[in-house]
Structure 1
């Protein structure tokens, strides 16, 4: 089967809920459709979800995420804040957390960046994860870093709390090297911030009966869902998106060969989920403003086609996507943008790299209004140069 960018782009946009006729019904459906929403910048995550849904604002995202988060024993939610692909903070559909935790714990960890006297052994990591699991399970409320550190020291020993881990011009307690491992194994997730401090809690308090899915089942599901959302794709594309080694990803595609099939994507062999070969064969003619680290920008390949010409120079940072908010026209990056908030006023500056005719300007006005609605503010649009640099 031979496919072009136009074939693939229109389907990806629809499955990301980025076309007018394919909006998600709620925040969880938006997060599931994109296979996770990057949430290092929370306001950007709220926009990523909002533009994929009809009428949902940041309050709706927060309700889906934090509704009754402190009530024991289990307060159901539809979104979970945890670690996702590439080890970064994501908003995940709660229903998908068993898959994510089953799969992520199987991704081989890279070499530790810490000195021998600082890094934790595999046994120590297991001890800390067990201590975290027990501490958040019995806590009456989500725990701050300091509270969780104290609880871990009681269970694992003083070594776990030693402030030896260099991070952000400070020294963190040693156990925090295992934070990602604890989330990947389903031992904890993020709770609501307390006075701007992060908190941690048990996923079982958010999802009744929660447990990670069996590893093989979770990996098979993740591969096929990734290909349905971002395919056709190669093992190298999957590795970059997930944050895994290309060799391991290639082995995974071989392992699940019976669940996937190859196609020709602009002259390159790539894969789709078995039987998932329906493509419309037309380019989507629309406009979207995608925020920092939007899943579509980070996950779609090849980047040279998604970020053509000047877009590759302005919207990519050393080849990395997501550090700059992007104007999407007809499924490819055609500009950059930035928003600055002051009270309810949201100043939006859009710098297009292509001429915007009357139709696209009308779509741009509507998109800016939608972002203001999501962020519960009042937008003012300026079409002109964006002078703000990329996000760190």
Structure 2
């Protein structure tokens, strides 16, 4: 699997090749998201899945684990955890100020290309928290020194280290200081130990980073985004990366012939040409996706997947916290919420559309796959629609 198809491409605009209906685009998009078999690629490990997407939303660690698990049939949570310990991917804040899983060797250049705008805009947030630029730089230096030599510390240990050094790290100040150190490329989020987030030095965790120049980096971002989310628009790409409209346009141009354009109900969209060989007919498949999955988080315009009437159920109060979704035929059909105990995983399912007995059985089967992933027996409670 190529990691930087834009490297040898010329900066030429993609070539128009197809007209699609919304239903056809949804079928293709579900394939590009690796929720159906892809005609040319099927990543077989954590490194492959994360590299395919380029970045995967993972502000909630458990959600990020299941996003990987459902695309790696037969894998368990322990398998994914082991892959992260092998550094096949890591978590950091590369885009939009939120945590993503990214290919480990790509973390630094992604921070430099997509994270810089968020870092530059952090002044008002610092002021609100009573922090100066000198405060956050000092905190980053303190963490850098404490983690040097292969040390790995939990979140609470990091905050305790800052407080001991005279940098108040209580409440939201602590979160901001941890974010800032990672945003500067000093630290990264290592895998959890038990239930606690851990941190390490990025340069020590990834001693051999990939270092593309800016144009190549933009091309890689475009190629990975559109092959894993397409067909979709340049606006969605800019929203996902946080790039300016000009940089988003440049990125697509650098990717060149690795991408092509189509129209979806008359609107121009970009896609990996290989995807156009996938079936375009609607498929009545059922998935139980985590809340923070690229299926919804990867787009500004979610109308192909989500009925406007159901938005409040998926993002209650529009607070940025997404509920886990039941998806049928590429469309959101319900939500599910899991509670883990020592002896079972209890799941409450809330349909948003009518689901017959046969479909409910298929949802139960999809949830059984999740229960196998976490290694616990399943108990399902169906709410009234």
The TM tier, using the shorter chain, reads 0.7 to 0.9
User: Which residue pairs with 1:287 in the alignment?
Assistant: 286
Q: Distance in 2 between matches of 1:173 and 1:371?
A: 30
Q: What are the Cα deviations for residues 207-239 of structure 1, in whole angstroms up to 9, with x where unaligned?
A: 452254333322221122111112233333123
Between the aligned partners of 1:189 and 1:5, the Cα distance in structure 2 is 39
Equivalences, count: 361
Partner of 1:50: 69
Residue number in structure 2 paired with 1:233:
232
| Alignment CA distance shift 1:114-1:206 (3 Å) | closer
CA contact (8 A) 1:261 1:273 kept: yes
SS at match of 2:361: helix
The Cα of 1:264 is off from its aligned counterpart by 1.7
Q: Within 5 Å, give how 1:267-286 maps onto structure 2.
A: 267-272=266-271, 277-278=276-277, 280-286=279-285
1:253 match: secondary structure: helix
Q: Which residue of structure 1 aligns with residue 264 of structure 2?
A: 265
Equivalent position of 2:26 in the other structure: 9
Whole-angstrom CA distance in 1 between matches of 2:362 and 2:285: 8
Instruction: Determine the structure 2 residue equivalent to 1:390.
Output: none
Q: Match of 2:127?
A: 115
Distance 2:251 2:33 in 1: 27
| Matching residue within 249, 253, 258 for 2:249 | 253
**Cα distance 1:153–1:210, how it changes in 2: closer, same or farther (>3 A)?**
farther
Separation (CA, whole Å) in 1 of partners of 2:180 and 2:21? 43
Q: 1-side partners of 2:316 and 2:95: how far apart?
A: 19
Alignment root-mean-square deviation, CA: 3.5
Pick the aligned partner of 1:37 from 52, 56, 71: 56
1:339 alignment counterpart: 338
Deviation at 1:81, TM superposition (A): 2.3
Distance 1:150 1:294, change over 3 A: closer
User: 8 Å contact 1:7–1:281 — kept in the other structure?
Assistant: yes
Shift in Å, 1:303: 1.5
Alignment gaps of 5+ in structure 1: 68-76, 387-392
**Which digits, 9 at most, give the CA deviation of each residue in 1:93-145, with x for residues without a partner?**
33543553453344453252232894444x88677667755654x32421356
Cα 1:301–1:4 change in 2 (3 A) is farther
Cα gap change, 1:360 to 1:292, in 2 (>3 Å): same
TM-score, structure 2 normalization: 0.79
2:222 is aligned to 223
Q: Which moved more, 1:144-153 or 1:297-306?
A: 144-153
Q: Deviations over 1:129-186 (max 9, x none)?
A: 67755654x32421356766798899xxx7xx532x7744xx5498546224223xxx
The answer to whether the 8 Å contact 2:221/2:251 transfers is no
Alignment partner, residue 82 of structure 2: 63
Determine the structure 1 residue equivalent to 2:190. 191
Which protein has greater RCO, CA pairs closer than 8 Å, 6+ apart? 2
**Aligned-residue offset at 1:46:** 1.9
Residue in 2 that maps onto 1:384: 383
Distance change >3 Å, CA 128–CA 102, structure 1 → 2: same
The answer to whether the 8 Å contact 2:315/2:321 transfers is yes
